[in-house]
């Protein structure tokens, strides 16, 4: 299992996952360096960059990472430079639209990710020409996939392609497991997926002629439900049509609702038994900045503490200093103890790399 670090790259979280036996999937050389700093050995790290300069691939090789390439141009450059001297994994685009949101589906025909399965002849030509050592095949079709059948369709594609690569060591199915955002949400049945995909994989590698490793790369699935964003209600603003609750946070801390129209349950922890009313929860950023519209929440008073659930994935990792506001602190509760694992920003943090010139 390779934890998808982009979901949350805090070094303490990486150390915790390392302690529990996980590897890690990274998408930038900086994530790789953080993972190494957290104790991961280079061979435990899968490096899956997208649209990066080739020099970043070279850095990954120099670090000894597992390299995963997703376009023909870079594959050719890699072959010219390394030939058969350094193994590489190839990321395929299966042309499968999967997941709950087109913006987070990465395996459809118009996605920038992966080399199209229809371009297999070009892949094979480059592999043959440069004697490239292909040790893995990878597919990741997106996020919030609930159907086991989607993974089995991916398996059929991967198993078919794999027969053209006799020196494989692993096949990587990515992730995309759906978590619950609200009561009654349909989620990925991991038990069912494990049984069916495991059976299909075992049948494949028997026919392939040797046992391979099956890799998966959960990110959101591991940290989403573990994270909560606490905010304070700064203003309750009633208009003729809407009652807004303004909070001391915004899309600079949790951008998913505005970027993906993602749903995050919002609870008033200061008044959990109050009468329920309809509110639109908005942030303090000078943009349309809505956390949740027309939500039924226990009565909110200025000063109340609210919590947004499922903020553990793509919360802090996508946070910014927009409007020159501070990014929040991060706190880890582990074995009944509270640990500060990231300090709140200060003005010095915002100004650190700015250079004031004499005018």
Give the active site residues.
286
Tell me how long the chain is: 359
**How far apart are the two ends of the chain, measured CA to CA in Å?**
54
Structure tokens, 137? 């095949």
Strand 66-69 and strand 45-47: the pairing is parallel
Q: Do the Cβ atoms of 178 and 186 come closer than 8 Å?
A: yes
DSSP E strand stretches across the chain: 2-4, 23-26, 45-47, 66-69, 88-93, 115-116, 134-139, 170-172, 213-215, 229-238, 243-247, 266-268, 276-282, 290-298, 305-308, 330-334, 337-342
Strands 88-93, 66-69: pairing is: parallel
Q: Cβ contacts of residue 352 below 8 Å, gap of 6+?
A: none
The contacts of residue 275 (CB under 8 Å, 6+ apart) are 298, 299
Query: What angle separates helix 72-82 from helix 54-63, to the nearest 10 degrees?
Result: 50
């Amino acid at each position: 299992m390779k934890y998808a670090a982009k979901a949350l790259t805090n070094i303490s979280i990486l150390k915790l996952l390392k302690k529990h036996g996980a590897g890690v999937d990274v998408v930038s050389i900086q994530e790789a360096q953080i993972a190494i700093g957290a104790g991961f050995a280079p061979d435990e790290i899968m490096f899956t960059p997208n649209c990066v300069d080739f020099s970043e691939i070279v850095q990954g090789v120099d670090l000894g990472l597992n390299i995963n390439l997703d376009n023909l141009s870079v594959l050719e450059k890699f072959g010219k430079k390394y030939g058969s001297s350094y193994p590489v994994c190839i990321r395929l685009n299966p042309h499968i639209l999967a997941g709950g949101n087109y913006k987070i589906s990465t395996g459809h025909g118009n996605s920038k990710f992966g080399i199209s399965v229809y371009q297999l002849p070009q892949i094979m030509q480059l592999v043959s020409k440069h004697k490239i050592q292909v040790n893995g095949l990878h597919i990741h079709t997106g996020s919030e996939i609930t159907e086991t059948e989607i993974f089995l369709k991916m398996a059929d594609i991967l198993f078919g392609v794999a027969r053209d690569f006799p020196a494989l060591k692993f096949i990587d199915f990515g992730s995309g497991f759906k978590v619950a955002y609200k009561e009654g949400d349909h989620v990925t049945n991991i038990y069912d997926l494990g049984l069916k995909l495991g059976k299909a994989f075992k049948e494949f590698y028997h026919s392939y002629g040797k046992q391979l490793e099956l890799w998966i790369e959960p990110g959101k699935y591991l940290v989403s439900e573990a994270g909560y964003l606490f905010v304070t209600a700064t203003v309750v603003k009633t208009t003729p049509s809407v009652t807004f609750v303004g909070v001391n946070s915004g899309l600079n801390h949790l951008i998913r609702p505005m970027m993906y129209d993602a749903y995050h349950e919002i609870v008033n922890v200061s008044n959990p038994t109050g009468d329920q009313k309809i509110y639109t929860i908005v942030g303090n950023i000078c943009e349309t900045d809505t956390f949740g519209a027309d939500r039924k929440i226990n009565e909110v008073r200025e000063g109340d503490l609210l919590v947004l659930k499922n903020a553990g994935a793509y919360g802090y990792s996508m946070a910014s200093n927009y409007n020159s506001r501070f990014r929040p602190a991060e706190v880890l509760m582990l074995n009944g103890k509270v640990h500060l694992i990231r300090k709140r920003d200060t003005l010095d943090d915002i100004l650190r790399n700015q250079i004031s010139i004499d005018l």
